[in-house]
Structure 1
Amino acid sequence: MAILKPSDFIRIIWRSFYIQAAWNSERMLSLGFCFCLVPFIKKAFSKSEDRAIFLERNLQFFNTHPYMASWIMGATIRLEEQSIEEARFDTKQMDRFKKRMSESLAAIGDQLFWGKLKPIAAMLGLALTLYNKVLGFCVFLFLYNLPHFYMRITGLLRGYKLGFDLAKVVSLSKYKEIFESLDKFAALSTGVLITLLGFSDFIASFPEGAAFLAGLLLMLILLKLNVSVPVALIVLILGSTVVGGLIY
C-alpha cells in the first residue's frame, strides 16, 4: 500500500540535507531522521497518538553516515507501510535492522566519502586551481557532490523498494572493488597534480616550488594515514611556509 507520492519523496530527500542540523551527543541523528520523515508521518498517521508512537520508536539512538541515512529512511517507510497494512509491527526486529544497517552504511560512507572521494576531489581541484581558481573550485564541488547526491537520492528509492531485503545488498565487502579503483585513481590524481605543478607559473622559481612540494608530500602522507582533509591542508600551508622560510 503506497502512501507517498513522488512529491513526498522529493520533500524527504530535500529534508535529508538537514539531517545533521539537530545532531546531539546523546541520540546523534535520531531527531534529524524523524525530521526527514515528517512528510511520511503526516500521510501515514492521522491520529496524534499514532504519530507520537512512531516518533517514540524512532527517536532512540541512531547514527550512521549522513549521506547514507536515506537508505534507512526508505526502508523504514516501506516497513511502516507494511505494518499499517498488516496491522502489526515487530519493534525489536525493526530496531535490530536499523542498527545493523546504520553500522554497515556508516562504514561504507566513511570510507567512500571521507577516505576516498574527498582527497581525490581536493587534489584534482587544487591542481586546476593553479590555472583557473573558479574552474578548480567548481571541479572539486562537482566531483565530490555528484556521488553524494546520487547516494542520497537512489538510497531513499532503493531502501523503499527493498525494505528488509536492503540488508542483502548493502555490505562493506560489496564496495571493495570500488574502493580499490578509487585508490588507484587517487594515485593517478597525485601524479596529475605534481605534473601540473611542474608546468605552473606558481612554482616557476625554485624556493616557492620546493616549499610547496614539501608541504604537498607531507599532506599526502597524512591523508594516507587517514588524517582529515582540513588538517592535512593546514599542514600543507604550514609546511610550505616553514620550508620556504628555511630556503630563503
Structure 2
Amino acid sequence: MMTSGTLSGPLRRKLLFRSFFLQGSWNFEQMQGLGALFVLSPLLRNLYQGEELHQACARHLSYFNTHPFIAPLILSGVAQLEINSADAEGVGEYRQLLMAPCAAMGDAFFWGGVRPFAAVLAMFFALHGSLLAPIVLLVVFNVPHLLVRIVGFAKGFALGEEVVDFLARCRLPDLAIRLKQGTLILLGILCAGLTYSTLSVAGLSPDLGWFIVPSVFVLGGLARQRLSPLLLTLLLVAVILALPGFY
C-alpha cells in the first residue's frame, strides 16, 4: 500500500472520507481522540502489526481537540510522520502543537466569519420569499469548509512539519475579520431595506427611518450607562407603539 514514504490513492481517499466522521464520538477525557484514531486506523493497520499496532492505537487515542474542518490537515500530517517512521514523541508533539492554534483560527473563521456571512446573505433571499435562501446558506457555508478540508488534507501530506508556514500564509484570522466586516455591512443594508419596507407597509412615512440612527446612538449611550437592557427594550417598544398610524 505504501512505497517510499507515500500513501496509495485508495487509502488516502479512505482517510479523507473518515475525517468527515471525526466528531462521531466524543468523551470528556480524550475529546476527539477516538475520532482521530478512527481516521488513522486504516493507515496504522498497514504500518504495524501485533503489539506495535496496539501501541500505535493507544498513542493516537490520546487527547485531541481542534476545529473539525481543519483537523484533516493535522491528521494527514500525522499520517505522513507515521509513514516516515517518525518517533512517537515527535508525532505526539506535532498533534499537540497544532490542534490549539487550528481550533482558534477555525472557530474565528468559520463560526465567527463564514457562518454569519452566509446567514445574512441568505436572509436577503428569505425576506423576498425566495426558495433560494436555504440553498444560498448551504452553498456559501459548505463550499469553503469542504475546500479547507480537502486542500488541508492534501497539504498535510505534502508539507508535513512545514504545514505551520502554510497556515501562516493562509492568514485565516485576517480573513475572519474581513468576513465579519462584510457581514456588518450586509446586515446594515438589510436592516435599512427592512425598515423602509416595514414603514411603507404600515402606512408610515419612510422619513421616520432617519430617526433610527440617532435612536441607536441614544440607546447605545444609555446601555453604556449600565441601564437595564430589559428597561431599554420596554422603552423602545413603548415608543414604537406610540407612533401615529402604528395600528
TM category, shorter: 0.7 to 0.9
1:34 and 2:37 are equivalent in the alignment: yes
Task: Report the Cα offset of residue 135 of structure 1.
Answer: 0.6
Which residue number in structure 2 is paired with residue 113 of structure 1?
A: 110
Task: Report the Cα offset of residue 196 of structure 1.
Answer: 4.4
Q: Any runs of at least 4 consecutive aligned residues in structure 1 with deviations exceeding 4 A, and if so which?
A: 198-203
2:68 aligned to 63, 66, 69, which one? 66
Deviations, residues 175-216 of structure 1 (Å, cap 9, x unaligned): 343123212211222134224425768983379xx9xx9xxx
**Unmatched 5+ residue regions in structure 2?**
221-232, 242-246
For normalisation by structure 2, the TM-score amounts to 0.75
Distance in 2 between the 1:243 and 1:54 partners? 62
**Which aligned pairs between 1:88-107 and structure 2 lie closer than 5 A?**
89-107=86-104
Is the deviation greater in 30-39 or in 164-173?
164-173
**Which aligned pairs between 1:48-87 and structure 2 lie closer than 5 A?**
48-83=50-85
Paired AA for residue 116 in structure 1 = G
Task: Report the Cα offset of residue 164 of structure 1.
Answer: 1.0
> Identity over the aligned pairs, expressed in percent?
28
CA contact 2:112–2:176 (8 Å) conserved in 1:
no
1:19 aligned to 19, 22, 28, which one? 22
Distance in 2 between the 1:132 and 1:13 partners? 38
CA contact 2:109–2:173 (8 Å) conserved in 1:
no
Larger Rg: 2
Task: Report the Cα offset of residue 39 of structure 1.
Answer: 2.7
Which residue number in structure 2 is paired with residue 234 of structure 1?
A: none
Task: Report the Cα offset of residue 171 of structure 1.
Answer: 4.1
CA contact 1:65–1:109 (8 Å) conserved in 2:
yes
Which residue number in structure 2 is paired with residue 225 of structure 1?
A: none
CA contact 1:127–1:196 (8 Å) conserved in 2:
no
1:147 aligned to 144, 148, 164, which one? 144
1:180 aligned to 177, 180, 184, which one? 177
Deviations, residues 90-128 of structure 1 (Å, cap 9, x unaligned): 222222221110011001101001111111111111221
Q: Give the number of aligned pairs.
A: 216
Structure 1 residues 206 and 33: alpha-carbon distance in aligned structure 2, compared to 1, 3 A threshold: farther
Paired AA for residue 27 in structure 1 = Q
Which residue number in structure 1 is paired with residue 156 of structure 2?
A: 159
Superposed CA RMSD: 3.3
Which residue number in structure 1 is paired with residue 244 of structure 2?
A: none
Structure 1 residues 43 and 199: alpha-carbon distance in aligned structure 2, compared to 1, 3 A threshold: farther
CA contact 2:18–2:39 (8 Å) conserved in 1:
yes
Distance in 2 between the 1:203 and 1:243 partners? 19
Which residue number in structure 2 is paired with residue 86 of structure 1?
A: none
CA contact 1:108–1:172 (8 Å) conserved in 2:
no
Distance in 2 between the 1:143 and 1:173 partners? 19
For normalisation by structure 1, the TM-score amounts to 0.75
2:47 aligned to 44, 47, 66, which one? 44
CA contact 1:37–1:73 (8 Å) conserved in 2:
yes
Which residue number in structure 2 is paired with residue 6 of structure 1?
A: 9
Distance in 1 between the 2:201 and 2:20 partners? 43
**Unmatched 5+ residue regions in structure 1?**
84-88, 222-238
Task: Report the Cα offset of residue 148 of structure 1.
Answer: 0.7
